[in-house]
């Protein structure tokens, strides 16, 4: 299993607007290609201007295939344009992670 852990940081005061934009224009396209995320979280303490998505793939090839389909989806492209125009996001940090041998991640539902 390959875990894709993504942290997004928004300009102060824009987190709610960014999540509303994503839900309205990005969620359907992204989940159509990637499936449901393992988690989609907002920060309660610490940097409260951040949110996290965690996605699970069989391996790097599965991730590449799913993401290529998403990147070609006109609905997803439209969301990216709207998000860039809104300017709420300051940065994005992605980490591709593997489970420790003694604590394997649960299998993703097909």
Does residue 83 sit within a domain?
yes
| Alpha-carbon span 6 to 102, nearest angstrom | 24
Token pair belonging to 15: 């987190």
Q: Band of the pLDDT at 32, cuts 50, 70, 90?
A: very high
> Domain of 37?
24-49+59-95
Residue 70: inside a domain? yes
pLDDT of residue 109: 52
Q: Which whole number is the average pLDDT over 33-60?
A: 94
What pTM was computed for the model?
Answer: 0.88
Residue 10 burial (CB count, 10 A): 22
In a domain, 107, yes or no: no
Q: Is 4 part of any domain?
A: no
Segment 56-87, tens digit of pLDDT: 999 999 999 999 999 999 999 999 999 999 99
Contacts of 8 (CB under 8 A, 6+ apart): 18, 50, 51, 52, 53, 89, 91, 92, 93
- Domain count within the chain: 1
């Amino acid at each position: 299993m390959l875990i894709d852990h993504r942290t997004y940081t928004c300009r102060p005061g824009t987190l709610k607007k960014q999540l509303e934009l994503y839900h309205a224009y990005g969620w359907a396209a992204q989940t159509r290609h990637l499936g449901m995320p393992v988690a989609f979280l907002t920060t309660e303490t610490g940097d409260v201007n951040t949110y996290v998505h965690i996605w699970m793939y069989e391996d790097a090839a599965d991730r590449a295939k799913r993401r290529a389909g998403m990147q070609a989806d006109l609905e997803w492209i439209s969301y990216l344009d709207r998000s860039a125009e809104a300017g709420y996001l300051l940065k994005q940090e992605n980490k591709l992670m593997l489970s420790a041998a003694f604590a394997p991640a649960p299998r993703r539902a097909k």
